[in-house]
Chain A
Amino acid sequence: GESVGLHLPTLSVQEGDNSIINCAYSNSASDYFIWYKQESGKGPQFIIDIRSNMDKRQGQRVTVLLNKTVKHLSLQIAATQPGDSAVYFCAEKDGNTDKLIFGTGTRLQVFP
């Protein structure tokens, strides 16, 4: 079936460096993508989203890139901080349904 997957289960970065978290998706009908951050014991928190008619969107310290040709999504975090340590999920929404399909997550560890 269709699925969303991540390349790296754990990413360790030094405080101040930039982080890149990658995600592959397989449903070509997906037209809306979201990155969520989940801290331990909490619910997923919206970070940034992008629609399929765009290839880049920037927020505060975060950028999402979408490559529809290879069905690849990435989240870039600039100047990573200890507070960024969490599990990050990408999620896709098929334009024909209204449910988000989540990937398995990447754990981001920030060390001093």
Chain B
Amino acid sequence: NAGVMQNPRHLVRRRGQEARLRCSPMKGHSHVYWYRQLPEEGLKFMVYLQKENIIDESGMPKERFSAEFPKEGPSILRIQQVVRGDSAAYFCASSPGQQYGYTFGSGTRLTVV
């Protein structure tokens, strides 16, 4: 079991470009969560998805950010027209259900220049 796979590990984007972050959950896990972490801070919840459904997006900015978890393929976190304030580590986690803890990936470190 390869665990939660995130790619790319590092992503550099110029202001105004789009960033696409990918997450493949652990085998058998149908729940995916995205978190953002600024340096020296905790993880902030962004969005919770199940296959083809967004369950809770209360932590996601209303503009420029979107997430999907299609029937086939990885979950995608997309950030349009990136700004310097979007620079952070973005972590994906998965779980087999609501009564279980999360397994985290190694994260994608986004740098906006």
Contact = CB atoms under 8 A, between A and B. Distances in A.
Nearest to A6: B42
Contacts of B43: 44, 89, 102
A49 B43 CA distance: 18
B41 interface: yes
Given A100-B45, A101-B45, A44 B91 contact: yes
B33 A49 contact: no
Interface residues of A, number: 19
Contacts of B101: 32, 34, 46, 49, 100
- Interface range, B side: 20 to 34
A44 B45 contact: no
20 contacts: A32-B99, A34-B101, A43-B4, A43-B91, A44-B43, A45-B104, A46-B102, A49-B101, A89-B43, A98-B48, A98-B56, A99-B56, A100-B33, A100-B45, A101-B45, A102-B42, A102-B43, A102-B44, A102-B45, A105-B41
